[in-house]
Amino acid sequence: MKQFLCTCLAIVALLTPFYSSAQTFRPGFIVQAAGDTTKGLVRYREGKQNYKSGLFKATENADVTEYFPADIQAYGIIGEAPFISKEVPATDGTLNRMFVEVLEQGKLTLYTQDNLLYLEKENSG
């Protein structure tokens, strides 16, 4: 019985950090379609989900709203690379609107999306 309890406690102890990090909201922002910036809390996530949508709430106790690339211009966590809505060419040549992560911005802007890199020259496509 002791061994069973120790095993259960070990599993709970190992899984708790993953659950709490999955639910972490950090100070961030969204840029509305009209260009207005709203500050609040953005859910910290890793992986491909960042390119599909952003989870935002205005205050700690507010409801979470999921924003898609067609809904807003950008979103991000303060101190981290922002995600902006762009039309990205697919492998079949069509353009798909999705979020891309801005790695470097200037006369040349470097974006990444799903392990692909995109380079955009200032004032061009």
Q: Tell me the mean pLDDT in the region 2-10.
A: 58
Rounded Cα distance between 21 and 91, Å, is 34
Tell me: pLDDT of 20 over 50: no
Residue 113 lies in a domain: yes
Using alpha carbons only, give the angle 75, 81, 85 rounded to the nearest 5 degrees.
40
Residue 64 lies in a domain: yes
* Domain ranges, residue 44: 25-121
Residue 9 lies in a domain: no
Residue 40 exposed, middle or buried by CB count within 10 Å (0-12, 13-18, 19+): middle
Residue 3 lies in a domain: no
Residue 92 lies in a domain: yes
The pLDDT value given to residue 70: 95
Helix (H, G, I), strand (E, B) or coil at 53: coil
Tell me: pLDDT of 25 over 70: yes
Tell me: pLDDT of 117 over 60: yes
Q: Tell me the mean pLDDT in the region 101-111.
A: 93
Distance between terminal CA atoms of the chain?
66
Residue 20 lies in a domain: no
Residue 2 lies in a domain: no
For a pLDDT cut of 70, what percent of the chain falls above it?
81
Nearest alpha-carbon partner for 100 in 66, 75, 123, 125: 75
Q: Into how many domains does the chain fold?
A: 1
Nearest alpha-carbon partner for 69 in 91, 54, 57: 54
Residue 85 lies in a domain: yes
Confidence bin at 21 (pLDDT 50/70/90):
very low
